[in-house]
Amino acid sequence: MRHRLIIAALVMGMAAAVTARADVRLAYVDVQRALNECRAGKAAKTQFRGRIERLQAQLEGEQNEVERLKRELEQKASLMQPEQRQNLEDDYEKKLRRFQDDYKNSRDELQEKDNQVTGAIVRDLATVVREIGAKNGYTMVMEKGTLLWAIPATDITDQVIRAYDAMNVRPGSLGAEAASDSGKFGPAPAATTREEPPEQGASGRSTILK
């Protein structure tokens, strides 16, 4: 949080210095809201809800079976033959480990997919912001999470959402196009091998799971 305040103060200081020399146009974008409200973000969230519901049903079934075996062990183990009791204990431990592994793997898989899809859409939004900024002569477009204060009139989030939706492109394609056509979209972001989107605001990075 301290670092964000320092960055915001530096940004506003730079803007004030530029203002003293020339006319400037400043704007900001709420990336998380754009992600939530753009068509691609809504579609991704709907897909994730379906995936989460299916995984929850699977994990609940496994958990119920583990709990059933645990109850059976607690209630009947003392009455069983040693071999029968050992088989039940082995079955319980095997299904418990499978449930724990499936839970962890499902969580990691969802997080990785969220990072990939979110990253693709956020890069598209960044490309749209650069294009709008260049066309409208903005000196600087900032992310809402870095701001201490701004008047609502400088919020261009709705404009960014409308522009992105109107393009009707596959998520991630604008970022790829920007990398191959910097003359149209302005300087492309630095190449990265990670799919994670940048951090957005004090609440953490942007994500379609919010």
pLDDT tens for each residue of 111-121: 999 999 999 99
- DSSP for residue 155: B
Kindly report the average pLDDT of the chain as a whole number.
Answer: 82
Which token pair is 81? 């033959």
The torsion angle over the Cα atoms of residues 41, 46, 47 and 49, rounded to 10 degrees, is: 120
Q: HSE, CB side, 13 Å, CA atoms: give it for residue 140.
A: 17
Mean pLDDT value of segment 91-99: 95
Q: How far apart are CA 103 and CA 125, in angstroms?
A: 33
The number of residues making up the chain comes to: 210
pLDDT band, very low/low/confident/very high, at 204 (cuts 50, 70, 90) = low
C-beta of residue 177 within 8 angstroms of C-beta of residue 185: yes
Residue ranges per domain, the chain? 2-185
Per-residue pLDDT of 9-26, as tens digits, reads 445 555 555 444 568 899
Q: Please state, in angstroms and rounded to a whole number, the distance separating the CA atoms of residues 115 and 123.
A: 12
Least confident piece of the model among 14-28, 103-117, 154-168: 14-28
User: What pTM value is reported for the model?
Assistant: 0.70
Handedness of CA 131, 167, 151, 199 (dihedral sign): negative
pLDDT at 95 > cutoff 50: yes
CATH number at 2-185: 3.30.910.20
Residue 15: phi and psi, rounded to 5, are -60, -40
Task: Report the DSSP beta bridge partners of residue 28.
Answer: 142, 155
CA distance 137 to 198: 25
E runs forming strands in 59-134: none
